[in-house]
Chain A
Amino acid sequence: KAGVTQTPRYLIKTRGQQVTLSCSPISGHRSVSWYQQTPGQGLQFLFEYFSETQRNKGNFPGRFSGRQFSNSRSEMNVSTLELGDSALYLCASSLVPGSQETQYFGPGTRLLVL
């Protein structure tokens, strides 16, 4: 079974621009979560989607948004990019959003904001 895929793998943007990242979960997985990883803040939860609905959201400004499609693929969008948004963005999928469900991660998208 193919793993979680994320596109693009690397991205360079300038301040003020917006960016869209994509995540395709493992086949059959319907829950997708997004995390931001930075050297200073570590791994922080952004949001989780299941059945095209956002179920949970972390403590991030409204510039960070996401959505999920009927095939469970998910996108996250960051508008009005700031230098501090430079990070590795990780997507994880699981069968359903239960605490007993292991989340499997994609390779990440490395975003650099100049």
Chain B
Amino acid sequence: AQTVTQSQPEMSVQEAETVTLSCTYDTSENNYYLFWYKQPPSRQMILVIRQEAYKQQNATENRFSVNFQKAAKSFSLKISDSQLGDTAMYFCASQVSSGSARQLTFGSGTQLTVLP
């Protein structure tokens, strides 16, 4: 079974500053993928960034980057130059395939508020 833990229910950051959201996961699979999704007030779930577990290089996507520590099973998201539009609930998720079953498991989310 997979578990994903986000220990920060809420965070805030000043506009233009940098913030890091934490995530730890647990899986017995060797082949897995990690994701950060954001869910703004509209409730639309939007992909932010993904990381292949077999890659040592941390994924980056414009102002968003991850710190992937495979041995520690840690997958944090860094948002640089925070913008008001970054205000959203952020979900960390892991995805594995076991046999014919593929499942995406989410953490409980971190509500990020960007302050003007």
How many A residues touch B, CB cutoff 8 Å?
26
B-side interface mostly:
strand
Contacts of A103 in B (CB 8 A): 95, 104
Decide if the interface of chain A is mainly helix, strand, loop or mixed: strand
**How many chain B residues have a CB neighbour from A under 8 Å?**
27
Task: Tell me the bound Cα distance from A45 to B44 in angstroms.
Answer: 17
Residues in chain B near residue A55, CB distance under 8 A: 100-102
List 6 A-B pairs, minimum CB-CB distance, nearest first.
A105-B45, A99-B97, A43-B106, A56-B101, A97-B102, A107-B44
A-B contact pairs, 13 of them (CB 8 A): A42-B106, A45-B104, A48-B103, A55-B101, A55-B102, A58-B103, A92-B45, A97-B100, A99-B32, A99-B97, A100-B33, A105-B37, A107-B43
B interface with A by C-beta (< 8 Å): 31-33, 35, 37, 42-47, 50, 52, 91, 95-97, 100-109
A contact set with B: CB distance below 8 Å: 31, 33, 35, 42-43, 45, 48, 55-56, 58, 88, 90, 92, 97-108, 110
